[in-house]
Chains A and B, each alone.
Chain A
Amino acid sequence: MNLEFTPEEQAFRDEVRAFIAENHPKELGDFGMREDMTREEMVAWHKILGAKGWSVPAWPVEYGGTGWTPTQRYIWSEENARANTFMPLPFGVSMVGPVIYTFGNEEQKAKHLPGIRSGEVWWCQGYSEPGAGSDLASLKTTAVRDGDHYVINGQKTWTTLAQHADWGFFLCRTDPTAKAQEGISFILVDMKTPGVEVKPIKLLDGGYEVNETWLTDVRVPVENLVGVENKGWTYAKFLLAHERSGIAGVARSKRGVEKLREIAANETLDGAPLIKDFDFAKKVSQLEIDLAALEITELRTLAGEQAGKGPGPESSILKIKGTEIQQRLTELTLEAVGTYSAPYYGSIANDTGSNEYAVGPAHAQHAAATYFNMRKTSIYGGSNEIQRNIITKMILGL
């Protein structure tokens, strides 16, 4: 048992660090998750990685994966966090991609996997509905067979960045008479199909990250069904476990704690740096301790995967702890900026068309928006309460 990198792993770290330094577009370094990023900006790094063959490291090699060990993938995410890169979005790479190469047919693999790898095709996820959140299996969107087509009707919601999407993967009810989980199918939909309508939802931070997606008599060819009709729930669960395993966000949170320490060193309290205040420093220490534990827990899980176990129910722990830490980090950052947490940066940008009249220190400008935005993390991907239900069933056996 040891925590050291082997010489090969150190060489790998140097290689990816050098690649990122040479190839990551400098102008993307400051973006973060800014609400005014364009589609081109969001896929820029993805396209560079696609060309390099590094956009889907976790996939099997035959489908374009890199064959990296879990430790190498850990190094990769560490180095990307270090350089603050805007990583490929998960909808294609971590969600529908694995479903297609695991359950899809050869035509579907040939048609869809290249676009996911290259970053040319933008995917969105059609799971939640206004009446089906945590109780996802109660979804009502229907797909009715009509000759060589399914005709889809219903409403999806929380469709993240669907405003940019070329394709979506949708859970639809294909057997209304079956039990809730058993009549669902996993269907790929070209978002340009007539009857698909995407309406933005404004969020607490002022941004437009999610949408309502309305489907009215949307005719989709039957070859867009993935796997077997009515077995979509199995694929949906598989996808959720994959989604959760990357959700801990350890490397990004470590970078976030460094940033928080910088901010707290520049803010003052009673004439001294805020970070010298014991009450505040103690909260930062607690966050670092929790994060150190999560990092080892994730590495232990990765080591288990290396030993042949797929992402199992342990990934629910990563989801719970990872999102709690992400939220705590943004909460402490908000506390650290103090008075300048109040100005609504979005209104200044919107009124002037630029940020040149923004008030307060630069590090304060996104603190509140990010804090508000990150409340989503304990809700999405199966709420943290649903994760507890999963652990109850799968690990405690109750």
Chain B
Amino acid sequence: MDFNFTEEQDMVRDGLSRLVREQYDWETRRKAIASSAGWRPEVWAQLAELGILGMPFSEADGGFGGGAVDAMVIMEEFGKGLVVEPFVPTVVCAGGFLKHGGTAAQKEEHIGGIVAGSSVFAFAYAEPRGRFDYADLETTAKKDGAGYVLNGHKAVVIGAPWASHLIVTARTGGERRDRSGVSVFVVAKDTAGITTRDYVTVDGRRAAEVYFENVAVGADALIGAEGEGLGLIELVTDEAIAALCAEACGAMKVAHAMTVEYSRQRKQFGVPIGSFQVLQHRMVDMYTAYETAVSLTYLATLRLDSGEAERKRTVSAAKVGVGQSARLIGQEAVQIHGGNGVTDEYAIGHYFKRLTIFDSEFGNVDHHMKRHVALG
């Protein structure tokens, strides 16, 4: 049993922490998310240069041989700076599908681009009526000769406006919500028949509604076995959840620290509001909620390889516990900041917004509580 980070992991953390501090300061971020691009490709290029984008890939696949703990370290730092660049969709999700389900040719074709920063991916899984059920798909992929034809509408595809490629889930057989009949495809976003409606998300990122109209793809677009993609999706999204939990921990840590600092500066009744016991105890409860979230994130991250049932159980435990902590810390941070907490000007509100949307990604507290209960 060991809770130490390796020297390499400490170096990654220090490097990213410096990058976020020096180049991702609040004003720069504010301008970037308001720009027409909405992100900073130059930051993405720097992440590639630092080896961050290649971290979780094996050396054989052209990466740096890192694992889930490395992704956790990276995401925590991104969370601290509310970094919007699409590490989870590109490296964790697309990278995960390629690692766990890709053929040698697919890995060859795509991983190099991810590691170099030239390929950016988005993961198109959600649908307007599917909620958190990855098998509740109206999007179809019909066999057509050697390839497939995709039709459907994917909802809130995070990072799609920046993406060169999409990972798409679609039904190749079975009835809506059947466990079998779900397949995963990798497609270039500029493939004929794909249209997008791009927009800004409340937490400062970009997303799109993605429409597929008779989109013809080759047989080589299929990742994993046809109709048996659900297990792969569950594995990859569990890895994504662990990464998002780490991001949330980073954001919670900063939100809590900002709140404590604010309570030290802000005076009412002639004294700092941090001298009031009623606020002190609330900030202590925020702190214990943060520690709870960190512990559950460690647990989920370290159990990703522990077999399907154990993996699902701990990941759901983390999504529930971290989701509850994120809700509490976000709301309390705003409350203790008073009126300033509900302004756009103060950073705290933006941490609150990111922590709020975190809950809806890959299943909220209720969804994962149900999965935890079902696993007994």
Contacts and interface: CB of A to CB of B under 8 A. Distances in A.
B180 interface: no
B145 to A, nearest CB: 47
Contacts of A296: 295-296, 298-299
B261 to A, nearest CB: 10
Given A389-B280, A396-B284, A286 B369 contact: yes
Given A285-B369, A292-B317, A398 B298 contact: no
Contact of A299 (B1, B283, B321): B1
Contacts of B264: 398
Interface stretch (A2-10, A44-52, A174-182, A220-228): A2-10
Interface residues of A, number: 37
Interface in A342-398: 385, 388-389, 391-392, 395-398
Given A296-B298, A396-B260, A398-B275, A1 B292 contact: no
Contacts of A297: 291-292, 294-295
A320 B288 CA distance: 9
Interface string A277-309: 010011001101110111111011001000000
Contacts, number: 108
Interface stretch (B2-10, B13-21, B38-46, B346-354): B2-10
Contacts of B373: 278, 281-282, 285
A317 B280 CA distance: 14
Contact of A289 (B69, B288, B296): B296
Contact of B320 (A289, A317, A385): A289
Given A2-B2, A293-B296, A398-B260, A392 B302 contact: no
B1 A3 contact: yes
B291 A398 contact: no
Contact of B5 (A1, A5, A299): A1
B286 to A, nearest CB: 9
Contacts of A397: 260
A398 B317 contact: no
A195 to B, nearest CB: 40
Interface of A: 1-5, 9, 71, 74, 278, 281-282, 285-286, 288-290, 292-297, 299-300, 303, 317, 320-321, 385, 388-389, 391-392, 395-398
A334 to B, nearest CB: 21
A391 B284 contact: yes
Closest 7 CB pairs of A and B: A296-B295, A392-B280, A293-B292, A303-B3, A388-B284, A289-B317, A293-B295
B303 A3 contact: yes
A4 B298 contact: no
Contact of A293 (B277, B284, B321): B321
Contacts of B1: 2-5, 9, 71, 74, 299, 303
A73 to B, nearest CB: 12
* Highest count of chain B CB atoms <10 Å: which of A286, A293, A296, A385: A293
7 contacts: A3-B299, A288-B372, A289-B372, A293-B295, A297-B295, A396-B260, A398-B274
Contact of A391 (B277, B287, B294, B302): B287
Contacts of A321: 288, 292
B30 interface: no
B281 interface: yes
Interface residues of B, number: 37
Contacts of A293: 292-293, 295-296, 299, 317, 321
Given A293-B292, A293-B296, A388-B281, A1 B302 contact: yes
A392 B372 contact: no
Contact of A1 (B4, B260, B293, B296): B4
Given A293-B295, A296-B295, A385 B369 contact: no
A109 B221 CA distance: 75
Contacts of A392: 277, 280-281, 283-284
B31 to A, nearest CB: 33
A396 B281 CA distance: 10
Contacts of B298: 1, 296, 300
A278 B366 CA distance: 12
Contacts of B295: 292-297, 300
B263 A282 contact: no
A388 B280 CA distance: 8
B169 interface: no
A300 to B, nearest CB: 5
B314 interface: yes
B308 to A, nearest CB: 17
Contacts of A385: 281
Given A1-B3, A282-B373, A303-B3, 16 more contacts: A3-B299, A278-B370, A292-B299, A293-B293, A294-B295, A295-B295, A296-B299, A300-B295, A317-B288, A321-B292, A385-B281, A388-B280, A391-B284, A391-B288, A392-B281, A396-B280
Nearest to A385: B281
Contacts of B283: 392, 396, 398
Interface centre among B284, B293, B295, B302 (most CB of A within 10 A): B284
Nearest to B301: A1
A91 B371 CA distance: 43
Nearest to B69: A1
Nearest to A295: B295
Nearest to B67: A1
Interface string B260-275: 1001100000000011
Nearest to A4: B1
A1 B263 CA distance: 35
Contacts of B302: 1-3
B369 to A, nearest CB: 6
Given A1-B69, A292-B317, A398 B280 contact: yes
A71 B281 CA distance: 32
Contacts of A290: 292, 321
A396 B277 CA distance: 13
Contacts of A317: 287-288, 291
A309 B295 CA distance: 19
A289 B320 CA distance: 8
Contacts of B321: 289-290, 292-293
A289 B300 CA distance: 11
Contacts of A389: 277, 280
A197 B27 CA distance: 70
B306 to A, nearest CB: 9
A3 B298 CA distance: 9
A215 to B, nearest CB: 34
Contacts of B3: 1, 299-300, 303
A282 B2 contact: no
Nearest to B283: A396
A9 B5 CA distance: 21
Contacts of A285: 320, 369, 372-373
